[in-house]
Structure 1
Amino acid sequence: MFECIDRRYCFGCVGIRLKATMTMRLLDLFITSSIPVAKILLITGIGFYLALDQVNILNQDARKQLNNIVFYVFSPSLVASSLSETITYESMVKMWFMPLNVLLTFIIGSFLGWIVIKITKPPSHLRGIIVGCCAAGNLGNMPLIIIPAICNEKGSPFGDPESCEKYGLGYIALSMAIGAIYIWTYVYNLMRMLANPGGETAINSTSSTMPLISPKVEVGEQVGTWSKVKQRVSSVAEKINLRTIFAPSTIAALIALAVGLNPLLRKLLVGNTAPLRVIEDSVSLLGDGAIPVLTLIVGGNLLNGLRGSGMNKSVIMGVVVVRYLLLPILGVFIVRGAHYLGLVTSEPLYQFVLLLQYVVPPAMNLGTITQLFGSGESECSVILFWSYVLASVSLTVWPTFFMWLVA
């Protein structure tokens, strides 16, 4: 056994070894975190190629038809399959803070997006896109790839890989379902109002006009307080278009929650021994198509954006600063503050997922929304492209810090 004679040299050797180990861990984490981003960029490149005039496979009409399929089939199937497989009553009680945490990311992001609009002064048709990109994060496919990759890394602070991946995917499934509800209720309608203050937007995919605000507004007479309250509630109910709130993904999430929280339905539909498992398998198979098709559409829309979207660089920079700097910083204070107050359990993986919700790039569904609106799809694709290019850095630096913080 080697015995150290001079302690100074021993401490120096230990310091060098620690620095080398930290450097290797950082390099491994960088590679792990970059893989999901690289996959998305590669598929985006394929979509870009298919949209070229020389190829003309993924032209504008094809992208609109694919968006319809994503909107009505693929996205609802992905939400339903992921949520029903992992959510139970016990896990919902444990993770009650997550819906609030996701809502905070949307509200804070919207406020920061409004500040970006005030600073950059973009054209009116881009205001909804900017707020949407700042508010709605990719709570689905990015974490679905990141969490298993981190869990299977050697020396992961989240325990054995099998348990880590099982519980981590459960957290991500709930996060994805909640995000889908907020996107198709809060963000969808917010983008419509900002893009068209008049309250109406034509949705090309259905060739119909779906007004967010109905023209009928009743003015009450001098009546009692209770009557005024009822009249105000009735007026608000008339203004809301339920078809825009209960989008297919929202309905799928509600159905999946009902299945997951009902033991009888869960035994019938979920699991390898379920009598009706063929239904779950079919829905899961359809859901697997959501991520690649969404990414191909973004790549196809990017072609028009690069040809001359007129996108101001300050807008892209503003979205990047909000998503990769301001939101993560605020997220650390919110999640750690909630843990300090006893609102969040001390489980490191759960806290890590909550923190991760503040640093993911903009949601891919934003491309679908702009495609449905028939306006701003190329500009949205440019923002998404650069956001995902820079995500390779953000999703390496911040997760490293988050793991150090919660472990």
Structure 2
Amino acid sequence: RHSKEVEINYSSVKNSSNGTPETEAPNSIVALLPSPESKALVEHHVIKLAATTAEPGECEGGMLDRVKQAAWRMIQQMNLKTIFAPSTIAAIVGFIVGLVPVIRRLLIGERAPLHVIQDSALLLGDGSIPSVTLVMGGNLLKGLRRSEVQKSLIVGIVIARYVALPVIGTVIVKSAINLGLVPKDPLYQFVLLLQFAVPPAMNIGTITQLFGAGENECSIIMLWTYALASVALTFWSTFFMWLVA
């Protein structure tokens, strides 16, 4: 032992006749604190034990397993059917079909073995366009009948959508062009700029109806943004074409 041995006289503590313990003898030695050498030795053994029980690979593997479990629990709690609209699912499936050569050769083309599936998908896709238009028209009509949103809020949204966002997009795209991040193709630049001036997506109304929250407010906002879209989109399209020319 590196610490000093301590002798304690345990026999000095005895029960008296009345049940109260007697005081310790004067020559009893009080326990001393461990020396710095013993502390260093204990810390060395603790570090060595931790190094032998926890390998670096095991720690990384445990962390990775915990992240996977947390992600899986999050996926199970989410309602994917509510989050993804049918048009979004169709776009993802079409992207996968076009990306995988084997599936593309089976489905796409006049001589493809499963060409009938492509024809059926095209038929359903042609019918989805008027259906989405009817849904948007119903949302706009609902927003026309009610006015639960303050006028200042509507004005702020319109200004942010058709004034602030196109200006910010123009600065971002021009900066990317000057830095060489975007190719010098006028059509490509025009499409990038045009994305900042289009009205809100029609799927927003579908998502609010699926969740059952903010339907009336969304209808009113969609009404005014689409009512002003013809003027704003014409102006910004002309400006963007002049900018990339």
What TM-score do you get using the length of structure 2 for normalisation?
A: 0.65
Q: 1:367: which partner in 2? A: 205
The match for 2:238 is 400
1:239 alignment partner in structure 2: 74
Q: What letter matches 1:285 in structure 2?
A: L
Shift in alpha-carbon separation, 1:396–1:263, aligned structure 2, 3 A: same
Deviation at 1:354, TM superposition (A): 1.1
2:227 is equivalent to residue 389 of structure 1:
yes
User: Structure 1 residues 248 and 299, CA, compared in 2 at 3 Å: closer, same or farther?
Assistant: closer
Per-residue deviation at 1:315? 1.8
Report the alpha carbon displacement of residue 336 of structure 1 after superposing the two structures with TM.
2.0
Q: 1:330 maps to what in 2?
A: 168
Q: What's the % identity of the aligned pairs?
A: 58
Distance 1:271 1:394, change over 3 A: farther
Deviation at 1:264, TM superposition (A): 3.5
1:305-384 equivalent positions in 2, closer than 5 A: 305-384=143-222
* Helix, strand or coil at the partner of 2:199: coil
Q: Provide, for residues 338-395 of structure 1, a one-character-per-residue CA deviation record: whole Å limited to 9, x for no partner.
A: 2222222211111111111111001111111111122332321221111111111111
| Cα distance in 1 between the residues matched to 2:192 and 2:71 | 33
Match in the other structure for 2:11: none
Hey, what does 2:123 align to over in structure 1?
285
Residues 161, 197 of structure 2: 8 Å contact kept: yes
Greater relative contact order (CA < 8 Å, ≥ 6 in sequence):
1
- Contact 2:143 2:216 (C-alpha < 8 Å) held by counterparts: yes
Partners of 1:247 and 1:308 in 2: CA distance: 26
CA-CA distance at 1:246 after TM superposition? 5.5
Runs of at least 5 residues in structure 2 that lack an aligned partner in the other structure: 1-53
Provide the secondary structure at the position in 2 that maps to 1:288.
helix
The equivalent of 1:130 in structure 2 is none
2-structure distance, mates of 1:375, 1:245 = 13
CA contact under 8 A between 1:299 and 1:381: conserved in structure 2? no
Aligned-CA RMSD value = 2.6
Q: Which aligned pairs between 1:148-187 and structure 2 lie closer than 5 A?
A: none
Counterpart residue identity of residue 243, structure 2: L
Q: How does 1:8-47 map to 2 (within 5 A)?
A: none
C-alpha distance in structure 2 between counterparts of 1:245 and 1:225, whole Å: 35
Hey, what's the Cα distance between the residues in 1 that align with 2:66 and 2:102? 41
5+ residue gaps, structure 1? 1-222
1:303–1:378: 8 Å Cα contact kept in structure 2? Answer: no
Q: Which has the larger radius of gyration?
A: 2
Give 1:276's aligned amino acid.
L
For the 8 Å contact 2:143–2:223, the answer to whether it is kept is no
